[in-house]
Amino acid sequence: MVSGSNGTTSFMTDFLQKCGGYSVVDGGFATELERHGADLNDPLWSAKCLVSSPHLVRKVHLDYLDAGANIIITASYQATIQGFEAKGFSTEEAEALLRRSVEIACEAREIYYDRCMKDSCDFTGSGRISSHPVLVAASVGSYGAYLADGSEYSGDYGDAVSLETLKEFHRRRVLILANSGADLIAFETIPNKLEAKAYAELLEEEGITIPAWFSFNSKDGINVVSGDSILECASIADSCEQVVAVGINCTAPRFIHGLILSVRKVTSKPVIIYPNSGETYNAELKKWVESTGVRDEDFVSYIGKWRDAGASLFGGCCRTTPNTIKAISRVLSNKSLPSANLNIQM
Ligand SMILES: C[S+](C)CC[C@H](N)C(=O)O
Ligand SMILES: N[C@@H](CCS)C(=O)O
Ligand SMILES: [Zn+2]
């Protein structure tokens, strides 16, 4: 894997080039586990399946690869040492589960590559598919995700939580994921500036050499969910040497266009977007309020606009499915179409 600033700088641009200019990220992971029957009403949320149903975790990764994803995000969003310990696991077991999240994603990628090899897809000498290279991104969800009360949608941790609290909370987990065999770290659903700063300082203090992306969430299209300025948050990401992409996830599609324009004002790093379906989450019930989201067709019809605004990595977050990703993949590979005609047939 890359190390040193030069390698890190070109990591994502090289990858995008290999993918043909744009890259497809996977879709909602936890919500896809739920669609397959997993009960995530648990403080560990999706990380519960690392213990109870690793085969389902692998299947969901594979479904997204089959749908055309170039980047799969591990099941570690809500996997924390503190969260596992609260469930009675030892520190060693908790750390092993974090590593396991990456192993499962890597296994899915191997199965996918083997299958493609058998189907004689276009393989390069290096054993990678030229038109469909795949990265494994180790998810790091926020401190608010660990709290399991939906606070990644408020970003309000109270005055007792300082920069140091957040750095100490994430330190060991980030170190383990950075040395787990993942290609990069996905710091996702970042709800406030303090947590972005904590991640940036951690990466630097620990001399972490694998690349990372920083992805924020918003509920008004102007600021991140805490009310902190997206410009300030994205600037923190821009200043961090290890960060190879900056963007927005788990945010309603209608806010994405304006947010891409804002992010682009403060960084020339590749912009990643993976919106949710636009539905609302009830953190108490751990359930989604249905019928308020956009249909896959509508979601994907925005892709041309988001691409024109300057994004280059596209996927989905909560309540999007392999169908959404299939449609995104199809739209992006149809390069001959002008943006206004980037329509899809589902
Ligand atoms: C992105 S939200 C839907 C994640 C779930 C939350 N941390 C919870 O445990 O309820
Ligand atoms: N990668 C996580 C993000 C939740 S906001 C998931 O898709 O479950
Ligand atoms: Zn989400």
What is the DSSP secondary-structure string of 19-86? HTS-EEB---SHHHHHHTT----STTGGGHHHHH-HHHHHHHHHHHHHHT-SEEE-TTTT--HHHHHH
What is the rounded average pLDDT for all residues in the chain?
A: 91
What residue ranges line ligand 1, CB within 6 angstroms?
Answer: 45, 78, 145, 148, 150, 152, 189, 250, 281, 283, 286, 318
Q: What is the mean pLDDT of residues 304-327?
A: 97
**Atom of ligand 2 minimally distant from the CA of 189:** 5
Residue-level pLDDT at 344 = 39
Q: What is the mean pLDDT of residues 245-266?
A: 97
Q: How many CA atoms lie within 13 A of 209 on its CB side?
A: 9
> Would the CB of 139 count as within 6 Å of ligand 2?
yes
Residue-wise pLDDT for 223-254, tens only, equals 999 999 999 999 999 999 999 999 999 999 99
> Would the CB of 225 count as within 6 Å of ligand 2?
no
Helices (H) and strands (E) in the chain, counts: 14, 10
- Biggest CA–CA distance in the chain, Å, is 57
Q: Using 50, 70 and 90 to split pLDDT, how confident is the model at 101?
A: very high
Q: What is the mean pLDDT of residues 106-134?
A: 77
Q: For the whole prediction, is pTM greater than 0.80? A: yes
What residues contact 55, with CB distance under 8 A and at least 6 apart?
A: none
Residue 176, φ and ψ in degrees, nearest 5:
-65, -45
Q: Using 50, 70 and 90 to split pLDDT, how confident is the model at 298?
A: confident
Residue-level pLDDT at 299 = 80
Q: Is 303 left (phi over 0), alpha (psi -120 to 50) or beta?
A: alpha
Shortest-distance ligand to the CA of residue 26 = 2
Task: State yes or no: pLDDT of 125 exceeds 80.
Answer: no
Task: State yes or no: pLDDT of 336 exceeds 50.
Answer: no
**Atom of ligand 2 minimally distant from the CA of 276:** 5
**Residue nearest atom 6 of ligand 2, based on CA coordinates:** 29
Q: What is the mean pLDDT of residues 329-341?
A: 67
Q: Using 50, 70 and 90 to split pLDDT, how confident is the model at 346?
A: very low
Ligand 1 centre to CA of 210 (Å) is 26
Q: Using 50, 70 and 90 to split pLDDT, how confident is the model at 335?
A: low
Strand pairing partners for 187?
A: 140, 214
Q: What percent of the chain has pLDDT over 90?
A: 82
The candidate with the shortest Cα–Cα distance to 190, out of 139, 149, 261, is 139
Residue-level pLDDT at 1 = 37
**Atom of ligand 1 minimally distant from the CA of 250:** 1
Candidates 224, 250, 313, 324: which one to mutate for ligand 2, based on the most atoms within 8 Å of Cβ?
250
C-beta atoms surrounding 304 within 10 Å: 20
Residue-wise pLDDT for 176-209, tens only, equals 999 999 999 999 999 999 999 999 999 999 999 9
**Atom of ligand 1 minimally distant from the CA of 40:** 9
**Residue nearest atom 3 of ligand 1, based on CA coordinates:** 281
What ipTM, to 2 d.p.?
A: 0.98
What are the structure tokens assigned to 170, written together?
Answer: 């994430």
Task: State yes or no: pLDDT of 130 exceeds 90.
Answer: no
Q: What is the mean pLDDT of residues 156-165?
A: 96
Ligand 3 centre to CA of 250 (Å) is 4
Strand pairing partners for 243?
A: 212
Ligand 2 centre to CA of 113 (Å) is 24
